[in-house]
Amino acid sequence: MIEHGTRHNRRVKIDVRPYEGDRRAYLDSIGIGFGEHLDDEAAANFESVLEFDRAIAAYDGDRLVGNAAAISIDLTVPGAVLPVAGVTTVGVHPTHRRRGALRQMMRLQIDDVHRRGEPLAVLWASEGSIYQRFGYGLASLKASLKVKRYRNAFRAPHEFSGRIRLVSEDEARIAFPPVFDAVRPMMPGFFSHSAEFWNAEVFYFPEQWRRGRGKPFHVLHDVGGTIDGYARYAIRDGEENEVSVLDLMAATPAAHLDLWRYLLDIDLMSRVESWNVAVDDPVLLAIAEPRKLEMTMGDALWLRIVDLAPALAARRYRGDGRVVMEVADEFCPWNHGRWSLTVEAGVPYVEPAADSADFACDVTDLAAAYLGGFSFAQLAAAARVSELAPGGIERADALFRTDRAPWCPRVF
């Protein structure tokens, strides 16, 4: 329990503990933290996804004033899929912010994740600076794009590899998940979707989320009757009609470009936009004028290494080798110290080290390199990693390097 004075000179005791009360009260409290009033449909969707045995609450007396929850997901990391905590719906009511409630909730949550044996926790942050205090590092980026139709030509004439057809939402609900599950194990940053998540977070598109867009359209890509891609989009009417891409997923590069070409060529539209595409999406190199995509980058998935040794031992590396790292972790002291990572015949071994370190970093920076989103050389250039032995950073990058940038295609 923590005690703080307020601007009204009143002493406020904030108690943080696992939540055991009425579910609707908890859901309404989440809405307050994000400046929303949840209607019955939205509340039911949230309730179907949340795991209430992982729900944490902050109280002022008997009044609920903050929330932090997590869902159990499988996250794709380089060469493996791990059970992790998907941290979500974290917020404190405007009346009780900046009084230490968040730190207390993060402490309780990380300890619970540690107890459950999940080596990682991941989240999307409303503000990037918040969670670095608790050891979360920027693990992936996302790109947004907006391109006018008359500037969207590909560099070379495009020949479709398969067929694209419009389907109903009911058909999409059946066809989309197998494609996603085929792609998911190959892409660091992807996470598993339960049936409840598909219903509540993918296909749920209420009026307050549309921002001038209509109901979604759904398309499938198939080759010889085999579905290998899909897209979901909505139209925003206005002086310039716009195609808003909500989802695009493909199991092959050919299907990926086919779906982009279809979306870019929809009649009567002035432009196409998408708020979340991979930073290395092939459309950047396929289009004749990359500048006209108006691509911008931003932070996406934030990752917390909860248990360093099992987290590093679970992923796979570029080749064999050894590196010793000095890791600072004040929030999770069991990670703090010197560790060796040795990869022999493709198998990683992680253990405390007594010999001198090749580099030193904070746990947030190790998290930034974990999925392959950033190299240790990039982190060193930003004064976030210190090389302690000649060639130490180069040796680390030789192990951690990945072929593709990680990408998380959806907020949770």
Give me the active site residues, please.
Answer: 131, 412
Q: Report which secondary-structure segment, H or E, holds 244.
A: strand 242-250
User: For 257, how many CA atoms within 13 A lie in the half-sphere containing its CB?
Assistant: 17
Work out the burial of residue 118: count CB atoms within 10 Å of its CB; fewer than 13 is exposed, 13-18 middle, 19 or more buried.
Answer: buried
Q: Which residues of 300-329 are buried (b: 16+ CB within 10 A; e: fewer)?
A: bbbbbbbbbbebbbbbebbeeeebbbbbeb
Q: Which residues of 358-389 are buried (b: 16+ CB within 10 A; e: fewer)?
A: bbbbbbbbbbbbbbbbbbbebbbeeebbebee
User: In angstroms, rounded to a whole number, what is the distance separating the alpha carbons of residues 380 and 272?
Assistant: 37
Distance spanning both ends of the chain, measured CA to CA = 29
Of 27, 23, 104, nearest to 59 by C-alpha is 104
Q: What is 309-348 written as a DSSP string? A: HHHHHHS--SSSEEEEEEEE-SSSGGG-EEEEEEEETTEE
CB 185 within 8 Å of CB 75: no
User: In angstroms, rounded to a whole number, what is the distance separating the alpha carbons of residues 277 and 229?
Assistant: 15
Of 290, 281, 234, 225, nearest to 256 by C-alpha is 281
Sort residue 146 into left (φ over 0), alpha (ψ -120 to 50) or beta. Answer: beta
User: Which residues have C-beta within 8 Å of that of residue 37, sequence separation ≥ 6?
Assistant: 31
Distances (CA, A) of 149 to 44, 94, 289, 315: 39, 43, 12, 42
